[in-house]
Amino acid sequence: LDEVAEVGDLVDTRTSLADILNSAKQVEEAASGRKGGGDDDVEVRKGMSMREIRAAMEEADAAEAQGAAVEGEDEALESSLIRKARKARDAKRESKKSALATKAQAFMPEEENEVDLRSTNYAINKNKGLTRKRKKEDRNARVKNRNRYERAVKRRKGAVQEVREATADGTYSGEATGLRTNVRKSVKLG
């Protein structure tokens, strides 16, 4: 039981020690004035322009070229490694730029594709808007009624027997004129 009490005391002292150190650190930071408030105006750090960066790199390359001739072989080897690394970096950047350019081209194609525009359809040409889709036959009333008549004639041919013409002299000639022995039209009674 005594050991458990000692561990508990250690935990309490550690947390209180952490609190003390934390408050001391906060006092130091407040005194040094490192952290500004939200109302403080912070000076804008001016970065180097691309022109200045290029000029600095060219000066460094020129200094390396002059220094390599004078200095030992180790530094010449180091400068050549630096040049190789720069070339590799530039090549990687160029490949990334070209890949990004092709991706951008896929999202925003150039104007030359306007020549191959798709043709307009019937609904666009006739300015139909949101009218419902109809069969082509239903668009023209004359065609629709002609087709209805043809269907009605076909139905009637199944229901009504066709009138057959008799011979010109009026004589009966039996099966030669179409007498059918297998057809019965009589009605059975009962």
Distance (Å, whole) CA 121 – CA 139: 15
| Extents of the domains making up the chain | 133-158
Q: What is the pLDDT of residues 70-88, one digit of tens each?
A: 556 667 778 888 888 999 9
Distances (CA, A) of 43 to 29, 36, 40, 46: 19, 11, 10, 9
Angle, vertex CA 144, rays to CA 142 and CA 146, nearest 5: 70
Statement: the pTM of the whole predicted model exceeds 0.85: no
Angle, vertex CA 156, rays to CA 151 and CA 162, nearest 5: 130
Distance (Å, whole) CA 84 – CA 162: 101
Q: What is the pLDDT of residues 3-59, one digit of tens each?
A: 544 545 555 666 788 888 888 888 888 777 666 666 667 777 777 777 888 888 888
Structure-token match 């804008």, residue found: 44
